[in-house]
Amino acid sequence: MAEPPNDADERRAVPPVICYPTETLPSPNMVIYDAARAQLMTTTRAVVPPREAATVVVPAGHFMRIHSVEGPQVGDLNLFNASNLAERFYSGKTRALHGTHVSTGDRLWSCFPYLRPMATVTHDTLDWYGIDAYGGSVHDVIGTRCDPYTGRLLSGEDYHHCCHSNLTRALAAHTGQELSDAEQHVHDVLNVFMCTGFTRDTGQYFMKASPVRPGDYFEVFAEIDLLAVLSACPGGDCSAEHSSDAAACYPLEMEVLRPADGTLADWAPPLVNQYDQSHGT
């Protein structure tokens, strides 16, 4: 280990600054969403079987709820522009803008060069959880997704019902693409209902039993036409392990809801990012 400099303590004592102060981030007008969500009609329901994934299309201006049913279960969510798979959820930038975990009022951003809100979180029955004594919280954008490659690396075994594979199969079935093509579009997820953090002493990614219970739901408003792909993680409530058939797993349900006519008169879908893409040339 390197010899600490004489002023090591002084350097460590420098207070942090927030990378992206949210005062400059255009904030969503929650009054509009609250008015729209006051009267909703269900248009679609999709059950996500345990250790599988399912898809729904959520038209812009509709809401989507992810419901806990039957038992505590974590979901790995991918979001796409329904008419352009190249525009997909960007968990890293969402984390940079909103923090490690998202809840009501936060937005789910798309990748470059689009970088616009794909969805806004409009209700979260687990918002009471906050940040626990371990630094854990719910609905993270710090994990990636359980996948068979890391499983192979760590255990030497092949497991086919990781979220990565579940998302790949469901996207291939929806689009008609080959598995190998669909796999290229699968990306780092929003870990819905998952309770995670980083250990204070070693900085390692940890998970713990999700506080979610049947009846809980996480609701987003679709700012653009969305294709949502959700995997019911083989980790179940992620209290012990994932990437195996060991954990108790339950289904999840996706519900698409349409607001009453006229309630979104003051809302407009966001434009793609207006940077000119000349990159200084």
Q: Which is nearer to Zn ion, 76 or 219 (CB)?
A: 76
Of the candidates 141, 195, 233, 257, which one interacts with Zn ion according to CB under 5 A? 233
- Please give the residues from 55 up to 94 whose contact with Zn ion meets the rule CB under 5 A: 76
Based on the number of CB atoms within 10 Å of its own CB, is 69 exposed (0-12), middle (13-18) or buried (19 or more)?
middle
Contacts of 152 (CB under 8 A, 6+ apart): 158
- How many residues touch Zn ion under the rule CB under 5 A: the total is 4
Nearer to Zn ion, 62 or 101 (CB): 101
Nearer to Zn ion, 108 or 186 (CB): 186
CB atoms within 10 A of CB 249: 24
CB of 237 to Zn ion, least distance (A): 12
148 or 211: CB nearest Zn ion: 148
E strand residue ranges, the chain = 40-48, 53-58, 63-68, 75-81, 84-88, 107-109, 117-124, 137-140, 190-198, 205-208, 217-222, 226-232, 252-259
Closest distance of CB 63 from Zn ion, Å: 24
CB of 231 to Zn ion, least distance (A): 6
**CA 151/CA 203 separation, integer angstroms:** 21
Candidates 59, 85, 77; CA nearest to 229 is: 77
Part in contact with Zn ion (CB under 5 A); list of ranges 51-59, 90-98, 124-132, 226-234: 226-234
For Zn ion, which stretch binds (CB under 5 A), given 57-65, 130-138, 230-238, 252-260? Answer: 230-238
CA distances from 261 to 35, 41, 115, 123, 192 (A): 11, 11, 29, 21, 29
Which residues neighbour 156 within 8 Å (Cβ) at sequence distance 6 or greater?
none
The partner residues of 196 in beta bridges, in order of sequence, read 137, 207
| Contact between 185 and 203 (Cβ < 8 Å) | no
Residue with tokens 């002493």: 201
Segment 7-66, which members bind Zn ion (CB under 5 A)? none
Among residues 123 and 208, whose Cβ is nearest to Zn ion? 208
Question: Which residue, 58 or 163, is less far from Zn ion as judged by CB?
Answer: 163
Q: Is the dihedral of CA 204, 210, 211, 212 positive or negative?
A: positive
Q: How far is the CB of 9 from Zn ion (least distance, A)?
A: 41
If the CB atoms of residues 37 and 88 are measured against Zn ion, the closer one turns out to be 88
Q: How far is the CB of 232 from Zn ion (least distance, A)?
A: 9
What string marks each residue from 109 to 148 as x (binds Zn ion by CB under 5 A) or -?
-------------------------------------x--
Q: Rule CB under 5 A: is residue 163 a binding residue for Zn ion?
A: yes
Contact footprint for Zn ion (CB under 5 A): 76, 146, 163, 233
